[in-house]
Amino acid sequence: MISEPELVGGPAFPDAGPPPVFAQEPGRPRTPRARRPWPWALGGAVVASAVWAGGLYAYGHARDAGPDLGGYRTDRDPCTAAKLEGLTSAIGPRETGERAMHQQPYKVEQPALFSWSCSVYLKGKKAPYEVTIDYRLHRVTDPRPEFEALRSDPGGLGGGDWIDGLGELAYAGGPLGDTSLEVLDGQAEISLDVRADEIDEHGIPREVPKLDPAAMRTYLVEDMRQLMAALKK
């Protein structure tokens, strides 16, 4: 406890005698004086406020940074990244002629969504086949509720067979056709769809052999795994 300071070098004060006693009304307790807060208590409050403010800043910064994209990139051409080794072994090699050279991808670059759609043509024995690749990366919202809602749509857009062990959710068949595969992997949606080119270069319909959906599913899953990994490199 710190004592009262003493004056040094001044005149001595006379003895003031005992302190005065003030009268108090009977039955009324004396009201205690409010105690001044200790310095360490004030310091703790300041530290707690700083930690709370820092937590709010960190939360706001994390929220503004957007969801984790899981390593998926937007500078990869999916049609170049896709090796399609399974499909080419079953159908035929890639076309490298005029049709392949003039196939222009469709891209959407927005703050909330990145989308890239393109096609690869394979040389089948009786007709060429088109492999359409759609790659969508959601930068703001969670695509899972919409992905699940479309699968359970009673209007006929749903369906397909669930594929285990591929991404977060994966379905073969369904809206895109029997020889298609759609995958949801975090913020990314990727689809592969195989269709025969039933119109020749003269605009005349031609007969093409039907693909076996069960066999195609094996190749689609194999090629999808490779493509997903390639889009993250």
pLDDT in tens, 50-60: 443 444 344 34
Closest listed residue to residue 222, CA positions, set 195, 197, 192: 192
Residue 100: the pLDDT is: 60
State the burial class of residue 94 (Cβ atoms within 10 Å of its Cβ: 0-12, 13-18, 19+).
middle
Residue 205: the pLDDT is: 82
* Rounded mean pLDDT, 21-41: 43
Does residue 188 sit in helix, strand or coil?
Answer: strand
Q: Are 133 and 82 in contact (CB under 8 A)?
A: yes
Element (H, E) at 43: helix 39-65
Structure-block tokens of residue 218: 């094996």
- The verdict on residue 183 lying in a domain is yes
Residue 182, strand partner residues: 171, 191
pLDDT tier for residue 119 given thresholds of 50, 70 and 90? very high
> Of 25-34, 133-142, 211-220, which gets the smallest average pLDDT?
25-34
Residue 10: the pLDDT is: 45
pTM of the model: 0.69
State the burial class of residue 213 (Cβ atoms within 10 Å of its Cβ: 0-12, 13-18, 19+).
middle
The range of the structural domain enclosing residue 149 comes to 78-230
* Rounded mean pLDDT, 208-219: 91
Give the pLDDT confidence of 176-207 residue by residue, as tens digits. Answer: 889 999 999 999 999 999 999 888 778 888 88
More confident residue, 191 or 11: 191
- E strands, 22-154, in order: 106-109, 113-123, 128-138
How many domains, the chain? 1
More confident residue, 140 or 105: 140
More confident residue, 116 or 200: 116
* Rounded mean pLDDT, 82-111: 85
- The verdict on residue 39 lying in a domain is no
Residue 98: the pLDDT is: 66
- The verdict on residue 6 lying in a domain is no
- The verdict on residue 106 lying in a domain is yes
- The verdict on residue 134 lying in a domain is yes
> Above 80 in pLDDT, residue 29?
no
Q: Are 178 and 226 in contact (CB under 8 A)?
A: no
Mean pLDDT of the chain: 76
pLDDT tier for residue 151 given thresholds of 50, 70 and 90? confident
Residue 223, strand partner residues: none
- The verdict on residue 146 lying in a domain is yes
* Cα of 192 vs its chain's centroid, Å: 21
* φ, ψ dihedrals at 49, nearest 5°: -65, -40
CB burial string 52-81: b at 16+ within 10 A, e below: eeeeeeeeeeeeeeeeebeebeeebebbeb
- The verdict on residue 18 lying in a domain is no
- The verdict on residue 34 lying in a domain is no
Residue 8: the pLDDT is: 42
* Rounded mean pLDDT, 28-45: 44
